Amino acid sequence: MAKYIEMIRIRFLMMLAYRTNYYSGILIYSINIGAYYFLWNAIYGDKGSIEGMTALQMTSYVAIAWMARAFYYNNIDREIAQEIKEGKVAVEFIRPYNYLVMKTMQGLGEGIFRLSFFSIPGMVVVALIFPITFSAKPEVWLLFMLSLLFSFMINMQINLLTGMLTFFFFNNAGLIRAKRVIIDLFSGLLLPISFYPGWAQHIMGFLPFQAISYIPSMIFTESFAGSEIVNALFFQILWVLILIVPIQVLWLAARKQLVVQGG
């Protein structure tokens, strides 16, 4: 266990060395949030609320969705793909740790770094520019943190899966990009799931993506209440467990399949 915690720490320190990159990152996210802020205000016009959300809740939803993304988002899938292509993964196989757990820990180190140097200051900046509501209830914050942790895990599992597909496709930059687009759309980052037409919501109910962004953001903006929160958290836990299966299957298959290209 100690070695995995060390991996979190090292990745955190590595990110810390490049922290100046992140100041511009905050600006980028603010620009995105700004674009959606104006867009949503134009969409709301003089309507009081759409699908039970006010314009103010929507602005907060957009802001928190982007800032939370900084925590769960990482390029571990691309790193895995790179290591497979370069053949480095062969060495990783013989090292005394689980490769996938190691990657998860590195992702977590990155996430913790971004949360503390990006999301939190970023949220302060955004709250100064745009009107945003923060919940005063500590339990909302607690539930939000919990659901954010699950969203990290689910996003990570999907990243591991796409990364590992490189074992079979050799070059899967396209797939990695496609995955990113799908997650942006179906996770609720761009649009709350409740805005989609009924049939689309029904389909998305069978997919893990809304656990990544929609659930934590809805909890944060207090658009979910009572049993809705409990159901949402169970939805997340269920998907964390379900996704373990394909990862294990793919991992075992990949070890048999491994072709080191050059090296």
Partner 1 sequence: MKYVTIFFQYVAQYMKSRLTYRTDMVIEIVSDLLFQAVNLIFILVVFDHTSFLNGWTRDEIIFIYGFFLVPFAIFGAFFNIWDFNERYIVKGEMDRILTRPIHSLFQIILERMELESLFGVVTGMAVMFYAARDLHLSFSWYDPFLFAAFVLGGTFVYAAIFVLIASISFWSDSPTSIMPMMYNIGNYGRYPVDIYNHVIRFVLTWILPFAFVGVYPSAYFLGREEWYSYAFLTPLMGLLFFSFSVVMWNIGVTKYRGAGN
Residues of this chain that interact with partner 1 (CB under 8 A) are 21, 24-25, 27-28, 31-32, 34-35, 38-39, 41-45, 47, 50-51, 169-175, 177-178, 181-182, 184-185, 190-191, 195-197
The nearer residue to partner 1, 7 or 58, going by C-beta atoms, is 58
The residue with tokens 């339990």 is 139
The nearer residue to partner 1, 21 or 98, going by C-beta atoms, is 21
Element (H, E) at 53: strand 53-54
Least gap, CB of 51 to partner 1 (angstroms): 7
Packing angle of the helix pair 138-164, 227-257 (nearest 10 deg): 20
Say how many Å lie between the first and final Cα of the chain, rounded.
32
The nearer residue to partner 1, 92 or 180, going by C-beta atoms, is 180
The nearer residue to partner 1, 75 or 135, going by C-beta atoms, is 75
Contact 76, 107 (CB under 8 A): yes
Least gap, CB of 18 to partner 1 (angstroms): 8
Tokens of 138: 């500590």
The nearer residue to partner 1, 170 or 234, going by C-beta atoms, is 170
The nearer residue to partner 1, 161 or 191, going by C-beta atoms, is 191
CA distance 67 to 125: 11
CB-side neighbour CA atoms (13 Å) of 130: 28
Least gap, CB of 40 to partner 1 (angstroms): 9
Least gap, CB of 48 to partner 1 (angstroms): 12
Least gap, CB of 50 to partner 1 (angstroms): 5
Least gap, CB of 181 to partner 1 (angstroms): 5
CA distance 131 to 112: 26
Contact 189, 65 (CB under 8 A): yes
The nearer residue to partner 1, 47 or 95, going by C-beta atoms, is 47
Least gap, CB of 39 to partner 1 (angstroms): 6
Return the CA Rg of the chain.
19
Classify residue 49 by its DSSP letter. E
CA distance 137 to 155: 27
Tokens of 263: 């090296």
What are the C-alpha distances in Å from 211 to residues 45, 83, 175, 191, 246?
30, 28, 21, 14, 18
